[in-house]
Amino acid sequence: MEILKLLNIQYKYPESLNNCLNNITFTVCNGETVGLIGPNGAGKTTLLKIICGLINEFSGDILIYGKQIQKYSNIDLAKLISYIPQMDNYVFDFTVEEIVAMGRRPYINSMGILKSHDKKIIKKVIDMLGLDKIVKKRFLNLSGGERRLTLIARALAQETEIILMDEPTSNLDLNHKIIFMNKIIELKKTGKTIILISHDINLVSEYLNRIIFIKEGKVIKDGPVNNVLNEESLREVFEIKNFFVCENKITKKPNVFFIPEKEV
Amino acid sequence: MKRNIFIIILLILLFVVIVISLISGSVKTSLNELFSIFFNIKKEETDSGLIIFKIRLPRIFLAILIGGTLAVTGAMLQAIFKNPLVDPFITGVSSGAAFGATIAIIFKFYSITLFAIFGAVFTILFVYRLSVKNNNLNLYNLLLIGVMTGSFLSSLIMFLSAFFNRDMVKVIFWLMGDLSITDIFLLKISYIISLIIIIFCIYFSNDLNILSLDEDEAKVSGVKTEFIKTFYFISSGILTGLSVSLSGVIGFVGLVVPHIVRFFIGPDLRMLIPFSFLTGSIFLLICDTIARVAFAPAEIPVGIITGLFGAPVFVALLITRK
């Protein structure tokens, strides 16, 4: 079932001459996991911000379940979409538990008093992500991986069907990247729709089921991983040479390999 | 530390400091005397009784209100600005309030308090707008613009006072913070208004918690960020305006106290606001007692004492911050 539909999204930053986004159109169905891939400055973050209602001055339509996002109240929108930004420049040192509880905001009042139902959900989310040992720890004392998982937990506590993530795996070591991507697969099984920006092309290929390539504010390629991740599209999007795409024999997914210039 | 233990310690401390403050001063009062004054029916007829009830007690109530209000305002400004190094003094908001009050005094406008509030609210919005560039709040811009605005307004106040032949010593006393002049009626009104505002501030404080981490995340999780910011800007302005019109510009209480409290109970404003109020009261009461007693019978402005504590702490925080 179609959950999110973007129609001819155009956006220009007030101080810039060129469009940041140009005629972006695509549809996402329930339970899809989508990787947004493209060069730096292609407009990926801007696109996520537009989808979750942080930027309003765009033209085109964004429909969630067929209804324009402008027609949702901010509380109702918060029950449908959660967003995990790229950086966490937190200054104040809340505990993991406190941060996860903030995800319940759309369901409770400004004072933030949790009911037993809210506490149950928070506990479930914390257990699912394996954060139970660090719930009382302060955020700024956590490792990069633990911080990411905490922010995911907060987005899950928000119980939204769509989760947007901006480069969730940057700054993570290999082990935490894999732990993280496996959680994405678990989330997919629970029916969540996930759109994430990533520069880890091979991780996207192995763990997600759809890729949208974006360059200079336009959708270049869009489709299932096996159909669109190939040498031709990488050349077009990133303008790179000296690489090849090969199938992972076990998963049958395309992977990218690089060759230093001297070896060519 | 457990919050319950912390609150008991604070309450005991507050009581002890009140008693010490009641018996110390240029006229010494013994504990026995204090006890008999409080439980004597003819309490107001003796000299000591007069000093206790007409002078020291109102001043203690004033110090409690001002210390508490400044600490709460500091905690809230730190959260809105996502910056633990600000308070009403450093952001220039106190000076804005003092400037408003000065204008009202010189031109004999009706309400000094009202003008102090206008001055404070206007300064907060001014400093905030100037320190935001491309939707990003710059930490050092904010500190510099705040300090400059504050010192510009202080100079302007002195200039205007000299120009209009005001008593300069009094003005300087006031700019350094002074708890000695007490208008009992204004004190009572201020208590009521401040406590009502603080209760509302606690009510919305979880939204401010979320906002203090990241504005985008707050918006996406359903917080009405513009409303919350405006609400806390105006509340901080009113609280600062009230406290400045009662006691002048007292620095650093709003900076140091929330820091100490956050160290013990964490940054959750639902707890931080009430605990800061209590701790700020105790802190300012101690400072004011020192200011009264240190050079008795002469008094020095309480702002000198808070500055002696606060300025080094501020520098230490600035240096140790990554």
Domain positions in chain A: 1-79+161-178+191-264, 81-159
Tell me whether residue B132 is in a domain: yes
Q: Is the ipTM of this complex over 0.90?
A: no
| Cβ partners under 8 Å of residue B77, min gap 6 | B86, B87, B88, B91, B93, B124, B236, B254
Give residues with Cβ within 8 angstroms of B104, minimum separation 6.
B110, B111, B112, B114, B115, B116
Judge whether B21 lies within some domain. no
Question: For the structural domain made of A1-79+161-178+191-264, what CATH number should be given?
Answer: 3.40.50.300
Candidates B220, B228, B318: best to mutate against A (most CBs of A within 10 A) is B220
Neighbours of B231 (CB within 10 A): 19
pLDDT confidence bin for B271, thresholds 50/70/90: very high
Which residues, other chains included, contact A261 with Cβ-Cβ below 8 Å and sequence gap of 6+? A242
Which residues in chain B have their CB less than 8 angstroms from residue A91's CB?
A: 82-84, 212-213
Residues of chain A with pLDDT under 50: none
- To the nearest whole angstrom, how far is the Cα of A128 from the nearest Cα of chain B? 21
Is the Cβ pair B214, A81 closer than 8 Å?
no
Average pLDDT on B107-132 reads: 87
B contact set with A (CB within 8 A): 79, 82-84, 202-207, 209-210, 212-214, 216-217, 219-224, 262, 266-268, 270
Q: Where are the beta strands (DSSP E) in chain B?
A: 132-133, 136-137
Neighbours of B184 (CB within 10 A): 11
pLDDT at B44: 57
The answer to whether A102 faces chain B, any CB pair under 8 Å, is yes
Token pair, residue B174, equals 């006031």
Total number of domains in chain B: 1
Q: Which of A79, A85, A138 sits opposite B214 (nearest CB)?
A: A85
**Strand A2-11 relative to strand A59-64, pairing:** antiparallel
Q: What is the extent of the structural domain holding B246?
A: 2-12+30-321
A1 in Cβ contact with A162 (< 8 Å): no
Shortest CA distance from B208: residue in chain A: A110
Contact yes or no for A112 and B212 at CB 8 A: no
What is the share, in percent, of chain B residues with pLDDT greater than 70?
A: 94
Q: Is A94 on the interface with B (CB under 8 A)?
A: yes
State how far Cα B214 lies from the chain centre.
26
CB pair distance less than 8 Å for B221 and A53? no
Q: pLDDT tens across B145-180, in order? A: 999 999 999 899 888 888 887 667 767 777 788 887
Q: Give how far A137 is from chain B: nearest CA, Å.
A: 11
Average pLDDT over residues B303-320: 83
**Has residue B189 been placed in a domain?**
yes
Q: pLDDT per residue over B22-43, tens digit each?
A: 888 777 777 777 777 777 655 5
- Chain B residue numbers with beta carbons less than 8 Å from the beta carbon of A110 are 203-207
**What chain B residue is nearest to A110 in terms of C-alpha separation?**
B204
Q: What's the rounded Cα separation, in Å, for the pair B95 and B92?
A: 5
pLDDT at residue B65 tops 90: yes
Report how many Cβ contacts below 8 Å link chain A to chain B. 88
Instruction: Answer yes or no: is B19 within a domain.
Output: no
Pick the residue from chain B with its C-alpha nearest to A93. Answer: B267
Q: Is the model more confident about B47 or about B224?
A: B224
